[in-house]
Amino acid sequence: MPKLIIEGNRCLRGEINLQGAKNSILPILAAAILCEGESVIHNCPRLSDVDTTIKILNYLGCKVKFEGSDLTIDARNVDRDEIPGEFMRKMRSSIIFLGALVSRLGSAKFSLPGGCELGPRPIDMHFSGMRQLGLTLKEKHGVIECNVGRGLVGCNIALSFPSVGATENLILAAVKAKGTTTITNAAREPEIQDLAKYLNSCGAKIRGAGEGTIYIDGVEKLTGTEHTVIPDRIVAITYMAAAAATSGELQLNNVNVGHLSSVIPIFEESGGIIDFPNKNSLIIRAPSRLISTKIIRTMPYPGFPTDAQAPIMAMLCTADGTSVIVENIFESRYKHVGELLRLGADISVEGRTAVIEGVKRLSGAEVKAADLRGAAALVIAGLCAEGVTKISGLSHIDRGYDDIEGNLCKIGAYIKRI
């Protein structure tokens, strides 16, 4: 079983060029099948989730070329409307192909993605919005069969929660529907704006992405385009937390500072100093000891992101004082806590609230990652712990971090994969 071996307690110093955003590239790749032409996507990270998505695209009939960080998708010959169960199981976000397939081919077949490492993850909002647009969904032997009948027709969809995936799926389904679709209480994440930017450059007519109400005027046809994926804000937070936890100093390049507005105050409150040497870079300088922060509550964007909860918790394990985190987005997102305790952290969890009592130091141990951001938290904890930390469950980290060992070694970490 592959493991990351970290010799901790080293101060991280240097520069990292940030990768493109996982949560942008995945929906954009699904959107590429709407185009009767070729799309070239720049700044594409090397991730196992991207590999799985490429396999889905190939299966559906696309030709895909991945060179450096440029991904070319020729979607002229998309002719299959089915997502095999193995892909749905591997990557829950494959559900995004539902909207894309019904838009392109008028039908889709897939098995239910089920729960995941973050607890139950219903997709009821995706389905009810699709039904409003005119999609028929039938379940047979665990497979959902969807058909647009005479075509999708624009309508007003009010989401009961600003779900990122449901907003994206409904945009994809509505982009070629007849008339105008309005999505209210839409998610406002930057990745949604990125998806809309890509689609608009292919000929779609989407207004309001990034705001609570999104308007989509259906168009007949989309063509291919060139697009550069936004920087990954969660990976940025992960590296910043690693630098902060090790009393380090890090310059991050290719950052969108505006996307980090809910987390920069947390780094500052814990004692870090943040500078912006230019529009696309950020420097964090950490003190020799961090201090605890006020209550952190995860919220939909522009609030504090749930994906940053685990990395920030790892950083706060050795901050002087008591920090409190409330997880409001997912029911079961504290699986990393048990492993942080093995490293000597003092954390108690009650329901959605975690209380972190800062300890003097963490000490290396063997731990196992149970989900993507939990894995990142264990890496951060290992980097500041005394002694050696061995992390297994690496398939999780490879879903979202492009060469995490290489990047961390470049700034002074001792970390290798065996």
Q: Given the rule CB under 6 A, which residues bind ligand UD1?
A: 23, 26, 93, 121-126, 161, 163-166, 187, 191, 306-307, 329-330
Contact predicate 48/395, CB 8 Å: yes
Helices and strands (DSSP H and E) totals, the chain:
14, 24
- C-beta closer to ligand UD1: residue 196 or 411: 196
- What are the backbone dihedrals phi and psi of residue 275, each rounded to the nearest 5 degrees, phi first? -125, 160
Contact predicate 189/181, CB 8 Å: no
Q: What's the rounded Cα separation, in Å, for the pair 230 and 189?
A: 12
Looking at residue 254, its amino acid is N
Structure tokens at 285: 């300088």
- C-beta closer to ligand UD1: residue 12 or 133: 133
Q: What's the rounded Cα separation, in Å, for the pair 348 and 298?
A: 17
- C-beta closer to ligand UD1: residue 126 or 197: 126
Residues taking part in catalysis = 116
- What are the backbone dihedrals phi and psi of residue 85, each rounded to the nearest 5 degrees, phi first? -55, -35
- C-beta closer to ligand UD1: residue 173 or 362: 173
Residues 6+ apart with CB under 8 A from 391: 3, 4, 6, 367, 368, 369, 375, 378, 379, 382, 397
At residue 169, the 3 state secondary structure works out as helix
